[in-house]
Amino acid sequence: MQTERRSDTSALAEYDETIRLNPYSAEAYFNRGVARCQDPGAIADFDEAIRLNPSFADAYFHRACLKDYLAPRESVMAARHAALRSAIVDFDKAIRLNLDSSYLSHAYYRRGKAKYNLDRYAAAIVDFDEALRLNPSDPESLDGRKDAEGILNFYEEGIAHFDGRIHQNPDDVKTYKIRAETKGFLGRMQEAKTDFQKILELTTDTHIVAEIERHLQELDNPDYWQQYSWCTGG
């Protein structure tokens, strides 16, 4: 999807007329959405195309691409993450609905990139691999996979280091805490939960206990864990 192009005004006028004559044409709404390019109004057209045809794979794909493109690049991080997660849901749907093969490798790449931007590096690698299976020479997927693997290896090495420190000192609350927060950041929530529960067994420090209980309450909130991206590096 070429979201960088300008809206095709002549095509928009034609699709406006088509929709006026046949307001139940999912294809007409879809085509008008594509003609709008990066215009946020295209989202409404894709919404309507999907409402009229819930199995419209191409509409899910284009809506996903546009959600990804329009996701805030700065300012409120939670809003950016919400937009990316919404785009991933649409990519999921498009792929499940047997998206046209001409779009499929790009759908996997774009979904992988969205996951990468949400710091879900292992999941991103799976998508980049699938994109490369379909299009082995795709430079974007190759670069995306390399970047995701490099970052994931960095964190995995850090976790392995903490594993060694805990092996030497099984009662080291600080190391458990950093390892758990890092796992939370990586989305490995069950492992993080196990470490947090271990901390509660090891300490009665009221400040630490309060913080760990807050972590456990926020375990399923991915935005909360972004603040711990520094843990392993630190």
Residue 83 has pLDDT above 50, yes or no: yes
For the domain spanning 9-149, the CATH number is: 1.25.40.10
Using the predicted structure, report yes or no on whether residue 131 has a pLDDT greater than 60: yes
Percent of the chain with pLDDT over 90: 73
Residues 192-206: what's their mean pLDDT? 97
Task: Report, in angstroms and rounded to the nearest whole number, the Rg of the chain calculated over CA atoms.
Answer: 22
Phi/psi at 119 (nearest 5 deg)? 65, 20
**How high does pLDDT run on average in the chain?**
91
Give me the residue label for tokens 């420090």.
Answer: 205
Q: pTM of the full predicted structure?
A: 0.85
pLDDT of residue 58: 97
Structure tokens at 157: 């090495």
3-state secondary structure at position 164: helix
**Domain locations in the chain?**
9-149, 169-228
The pLDDT, as a whole number, for residue 5 is 53
pLDDT at residue 74 greater than cutoff 80: no
Between residues 63 and 76, which one has the greater pLDDT?
63
Residue in 72, 76, 100 with CA at minimum distance from that of residue 1: 100
Q: What pLDDT score was predicted for residue 190?
A: 96
Which amino acid is it at 81? H
Q: DSSP label at 75?
A: S
CB atoms within 10 A of CB 102: 8
Considering the chain, what percentage of its residues have pLDDT values greater than 70? 93
